[in-house]
Every structure is written in C-alpha cells, then in structure tokens.
C-alpha cells in the first residue's frame, strides 16, 4: 500500500541541518480563578516499570480565563520523567500540572489534555482524586453554573485501553477540538474475533481500530470471504451505539485510479470514473453518517490513503513514476474526488475528516515536503472550505518508528551528519513524531486552520523484541552507527509490505504530544498489506513485487530485498502469522 518514496538527490554534503521540533512554548499559569466543578479522565498504558499517562480535565463550572492548575497525589512511588502539553512538576508524591501559555483559558464544558511518561515499581495505582484550581473534581455540576455540561460519567481509574474512557462527546453534533479526547473508541467486533482467534490476541482485541470502506460493496456490507467481513457502515455505527462508544473511525478509500504507484491495493474504479466515486460511493456514505440516529457519535474519517503524495512523487520525471499517476494528476481525479468527499462529509456536524499525509520516509525531503502540503491545500480548497479538514494522519498502514532516540538529523558521527548515511539518505526527518509535528506547522503556514491536529498510525511501528537497540552504537562509521542504532529495523525505509520483524506500537492514546490529536490503530494489525504471490480475486487487488520476500528490489529502495513476510494473502485479508509476530515484537511490550 505504501508506495516507495522518491528520494531527493543532488544535495550538497555540507548542507545545513534544520529540524522543526514539536514542543510548544510552556509557561506557568498566572492569576487563576477557582473552578466550580470539574471532571478528570486518567488513563495509562504501562509496561514493566514504565508507563505513559494521559489526562483529560473538563471544566464543569464557570469559565476559567486566568490559567488552570491540576494537582494530585500519587498513592505509590510513581515518578514523572517527561511531560507534554502542560508544565508538570513533582515534589515527593505531589504533582502539579499547569496550562501551557497557549491554552490558559478553559470555558465551561472545555477540556484540557496533556500527558507524561513515568516510572514505578510494585503497583501503579491511579490517584484517588484530582483538584482543578483548588476544587476537587467529582464530576458533579455545581448549582448556578452554566447549562449544558458534559453528560459522560466521571472516571479516575487507570486503563490500558481507551475503550474504558467516558463514552459520548459534549454537545453531540457540535465539533470539538479533538474528537479523541475523553471519548471511548469503537471496537470492531469482526477484527476483535480475528484477533482472539490467535493465541494471546485477547490482550489487544479490545483496542479501537478503523473500519476500511475500500469498495462500494463495503458500504452496505458483504458476505463470504471478504477482507472486510460482512458488516456495512450502518452495521458498524449501530454497533458503536450498542457499545456506548464516543467515536468510530472509518477509512474512505476508493478513489478512481486508486493507489496509482502500487498494485497490491489498486481499487475497483478506473481513472475516469470520478462520477461513480461521487454518486455511488461518497453520497451513500454521507447519507448514512448523516443519519440523526448517530448524532451522539464522533465519526472520524481518514480520507484516501496514499493519493495526494503520489501526485508529487510518482509521476513522470520521478524515479519509478507511473502512467496512472500521470493520468490522475492530469485529470484532477484525486484532487476533485477528495475535495468532494471533504465537502460532503465535512458538512456533517459530528464528522471529522483527517486527510492522509504519507510519512517521513516518503515526503521528508525538501523536494517533497512543501509540494505535498501545497497539493493538500489544493484539495481542501476544492471542497469549498479548508475547515472541512479537521486534521491529517501520517504513517497510515506503515512501519516508520514513532521516535528514533539515537538517530536524529542533528546527530553527527565521526564528523559526518547521519543524513549522509545510506539509511537516512539526506532526509530531513528520521522518525514519525518529529515529522508529523513539523508537517503540521507547514500546513498551518500555508493556509490551513491553526487548530488542525495530527494523527499517527502506531499499529505496527513498535519494533520491539530482541532486535530493538537499547543504546547508541559506538561505531565511528556513519552507516554502521545508523544501522546499529535505529529503532526501525526494515532493510530499507521504503519497504512497506508485511514487514518482517515489526511489532505493535503505542496503543491508541488521545493528545499524546504537542499538535498530535491521537496515536491511532487505523491499519488493523494482522490485516495483510498484499499477497506474496498473485492471487486472483474480485476486489481489483493486484500483485506487487514489493510483497514478495524473494524480490531483490529496484532503484527506489536501493535494490534491497523487500523484507516482506512469506505466504501473505491479498491486502486486507487476515494474516495470522503476521499478527502473531506483531504481538511478539510489540513495544511497549504486551
């Protein structure tokens, strides 16, 4: 599914390194008014002696304009090592989190989200209570406070899954800043059953994953051996209501001439079938999602994986450019199709559109970075209003490491920048978090709303297990250093199909870092990227050599082996051997 990136060339060896980091300016709160009522949702993902905590605080009382301060006391020996989206200090067991400078106000019904990494030994028990500006957060609405408070019940116990968070959004039908915050994610029962069919799968089977609408027939549901099972869009929405979910995720994925640079995920619509895309695909989806029955759900659409970046990197004049990509660029099918989808779906008050933005190993070079942002703005404007885009998603169905602690563009080895290594190949980014934050800044700078948020698909980028480096290499050779130090263990950063050695990544988490709305599992772990050999099918999915483990590559992946697992089924079909390996190599470990 992930086309191999077009690499920038002819860069000067002495080029200056410039990386945009995601940490915003943080300041202590000033004079703050008291909170008349509040609710806190506290969740954790933990492993061994470490954990990640995520906190959502909701103001149920009068608006706060002078800054907020949340305090709690650990019941055990927990210590915080790093925080984001708040200034966090700790004295003994007492913790204080204060607002960042850019978010000092907290209106009635408003939420603040922040997170942290921590350590513990023994048990990791949640704090017994939290206080906002000196008021204990009980979840109650005080007498005389503004009307229309959030309706979800309080929660202060830790959880390893977002599915235990409060269920429904405040003011159903009204868009919130972050649709993942304070909301329970929908668990697809079809994926859950597949996960639990593999030994150990029950450890993650309650994790929210996205539902892929990858052909017209998937809208109303299919039967037989379909890769998406038999449930249709309405079936999933009804099930989400039954679960009491607060949000549900769909992948809108059926453009004409889909995935023009790959074969494994080609679709059913031909390059000239834009009218069918509009009337037979987008219109029915919009009609179902717009049903008033579902107004209490936050419906999140991930819009058209791989499409717009292909128009920048895989047309004529680029290594490996294809005729289909030339056609889709010339006829405007991708831009107009996505514009139409954004317009129809963005008009719905409880629907949130996130456009696919590739990943750092695809568009991280200067020659791709800006042009990709520009064509995304073109598609958004084609919808009639850039605000039809709520945000963007990176690393969808890919394997790029979330963080590379030992290999950053600023790292030098023996007097050489790691950007000169064969692996980095002059890319400006080496991990997905840094790239996503920088790409968000770029998108805002060219005309997107300053409130856009980013998602990162962490379903298969954990790279845990025995091969995961625990320290930087001591080699003074830049290639050796990078290969021994990098978290991402792929043979080449352009390899994308059923990668051997990969593991589950960070579990879905709301507001984990500055500018990031959530880490999500959009690609359901265990669903194949493509078949290892040609398998005839009626879904329009071809055979791509990058899915053949014996394929020795091409110029776009440095003539490297594909790194793909053997015996894989067609894209979207269940691949239990891959799922077992993903659990085995999970990071954080299961």
- Is the separation of the CB atoms in 146 and 64 below 8 Å? no
What is the DSSP-derived secondary structure letter of residue 106?
B
Structural contact between residues 393 and 443, judged by C-beta atoms closer than 8 angstroms: no
Cβ count within 10 A of residue 134:
10
Among residues 309, 355, 324, 312, the alpha carbon closest in space to that of 540 is found at: 324
User: 497 is written with which tokens?
Assistant: 């199909």
Cα–Cα nearest to 168, from 240, 238, 232: 240
pTM of the model: 0.73
Given a contact cutoff of 8 angstroms between Cβ atoms, the answer to whether 253 and 214 are in contact is yes
Annotated binding-site residue numbers = 212, 214, 359, 362, 398, 496, 523, 527
Closest by alpha carbon to 389, among 439, 317, 333, 341? 341
Residues paired with residue 416 on neighbouring β-strands, in sequence order: 413
pLDDT for residue 518: 97
Answer whether 394's CB lies under 8 Å from 361's CB: no
CB 27 within 8 A of CB 101: yes
Please name which of 375, 359, 290, 381 lies closest in space to residue 325, comparing C-alpha atoms.
375
Angle formed at CA 355 by CA 293 and CA 396, multiple of 5 degrees: 100
Three-state DSSP at 257 gives coil
Does an H or E element contain 113, and which? strand 111-119
How many Cβ atoms are within 10 Å of 494's Cβ, its own excluded?
A: 24
Q: Which of 76, 71, 54, 72 is nearest to 120 (CA)?
A: 76
Alpha carbon distance 488, 400 (integer Å): 6
C-alpha to C-alpha distance for 399 and 496, rounded to whole angstroms = 7
Identify whether the C-beta of residue 394 lies closer than 8 Å to the C-beta of residue 385.
Answer: no
The secondary structure of 166-216 as a DSSP string is: --S-SSTTS--S-TTTT-PBP--HHHHHHHHTSTTGGGTTTS--PEEE-ST
Residue 555 is given by DSSP the state G
- Residue among 85, 114, 89 nearest 102 (CA): 85
- Give the residue numbers marked as catalytic: 259, 306, 529
Alpha-carbon Rg of the chain, whole angstroms? 23
Backbone torsions φ then ψ of 42, nearest 5 degrees = -120, 120
Q: Which helix H or strand E contains 518, and what residues bound it?
A: strand 516-520
Q: How many helices (H) and strands (E) does the chain have?
A: 13, 19
Query: Within 10 Å of residue 108's Cβ, how many Cβ atoms?
Result: 21
Given a cut of 70, the residues of the chain with pLDDT beneath it are 1-36, 102, 140-174, 223-229
Distance, in Å, from the CA atom of 364 to the CA atom of 362, rounded to the nearest integer, reads 6
Domains delineated in the chain: 38-160 (2.60.40.290), 202-584 (3.20.20.40)
């005309």: which residue's tokens?
447
Full DSSP string of 336-391:
HHHHHHHHHHHTSTTEEEEEE---HHHH-SHHHHHHHHHHHHHHHHHTT-GGG--E
> 372 and 327 in contact (C-beta within 8 Å)?
no
Please give the annotated binding residues for substrate, written as ranges: 212, 214, 359, 362, 398, 496, 523, 527
């Amino acid at each position: 599914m992930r086309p191999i990136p077009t690499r920038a060339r002819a860069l000067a060896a002495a080029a200056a390194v410039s990386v945009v980091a995601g940490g915003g300016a943080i300041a202590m709160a000033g004079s703050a008014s008291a909170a008349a009522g509040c609710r806190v949702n506290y969740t954790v993902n933990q492993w061994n002696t470490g954990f990640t905590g995520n906190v959502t605080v909701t103001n149920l009382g009068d608006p706060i304009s002078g800054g907020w301060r949340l305090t709690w006391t650990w019941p055990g020996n927990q210590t915080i090592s790093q925080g984001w989206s708040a200034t966090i200090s700790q004295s003994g067991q007492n913790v204080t989190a204060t607002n960042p400078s850019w978010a000092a106000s907290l209106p009635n019904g408003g939420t603040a989200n922040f997170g942290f990494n921590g350590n513990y030994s023994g048990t990791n028990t949640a704090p017994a209570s939290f206080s906002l500006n000196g008021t204990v957060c009980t979840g109650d609405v005080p007498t005389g406070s503004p009307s229309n408070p959030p309706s979800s019940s309080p929660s202060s116990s830790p959880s390893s899954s977002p599915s235990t968070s409060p269920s429904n959004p405040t003011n159903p039908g009204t868009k919130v800043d972050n649709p993942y915050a304070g909301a329970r994610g929908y668990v697809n029962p079809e994926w859950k059953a597949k996960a639990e069919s593999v030994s150990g799968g029950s450890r993650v089977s309650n994790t929210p994953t996205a539902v892929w609408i990858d052909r017209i027939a998937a809208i109303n549901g299919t039967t037989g051996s379909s890769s998406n099972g038999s449930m249709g869009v309405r079936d999933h929405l009804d099930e989400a209501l039954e679960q009491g979910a607060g949000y549900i995720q769909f992948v809108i994925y059926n453009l004409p001439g889909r995935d023009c640079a790959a074969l494994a995920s080609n679709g059913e619509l031909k390059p000239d079938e834009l009218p069918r895309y509009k009337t037979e695909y987008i219109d029915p989806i919009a009609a179902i999602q717009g049903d008033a029955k579902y107004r209490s759900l936050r419906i999140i659409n991930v819009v058209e994986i791989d499409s717009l970046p292909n128009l920048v990197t895989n047309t004529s004049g680029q290594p490996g450019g294809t005729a289909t990509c030339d056609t889709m660029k010339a006829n405007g099918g991708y831009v107009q199709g996505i514009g139409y989808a954004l317009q129809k779906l963005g008009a719905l008050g409880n629907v949130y559109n996130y456009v696919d933005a590739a990943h750092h190993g695809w568009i991280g070079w200067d020659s791709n970075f800006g042009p990709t942002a520009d064509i995304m703005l073109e598609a958004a404007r084609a919808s009639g209003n850039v605000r039809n885009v709520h945000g963007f998603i990176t690393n969808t169905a890919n394997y790029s490491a979330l963080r590379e602690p030992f290999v950053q563009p600023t790292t030098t080895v023996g007097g050489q920048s790691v950007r000169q290594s064969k692996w980095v190949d002059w890319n400006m980014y080496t991990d997905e978090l840094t790239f996503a934050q920088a790409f968000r800044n770029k998108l805002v700078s060219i005309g997107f709303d300053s409130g856009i948020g980013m998602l990162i698909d962490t379903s298969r980028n954990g790279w845990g297990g025995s091969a995961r480096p625990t320290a930087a290499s001591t080699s003074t050779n830049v290639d050796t250093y990078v290969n021994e130090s990098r978290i991402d263990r792929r043979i080449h950063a352009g390899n994308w199909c059923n990668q051997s050695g990969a593991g589950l990544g960070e579990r879905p988490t709301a507001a984990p870092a500055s500018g990031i709305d959530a880490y999500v599992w959009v690609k359901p772990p265990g669903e194949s990227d493509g078949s290892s050999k040609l398998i005839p099918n009626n879904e329009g999915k071809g055979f791509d050599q990058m899915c053949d483990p014996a394929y020795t590559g091409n110029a776009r992946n440095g003539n490297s082996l594909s790194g793909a697992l053997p015996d894989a089924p067609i894209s979207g079909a269940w691949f239990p051997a891959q799922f077992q390996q993903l659990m085995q190599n999970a990071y954080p470990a299961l």
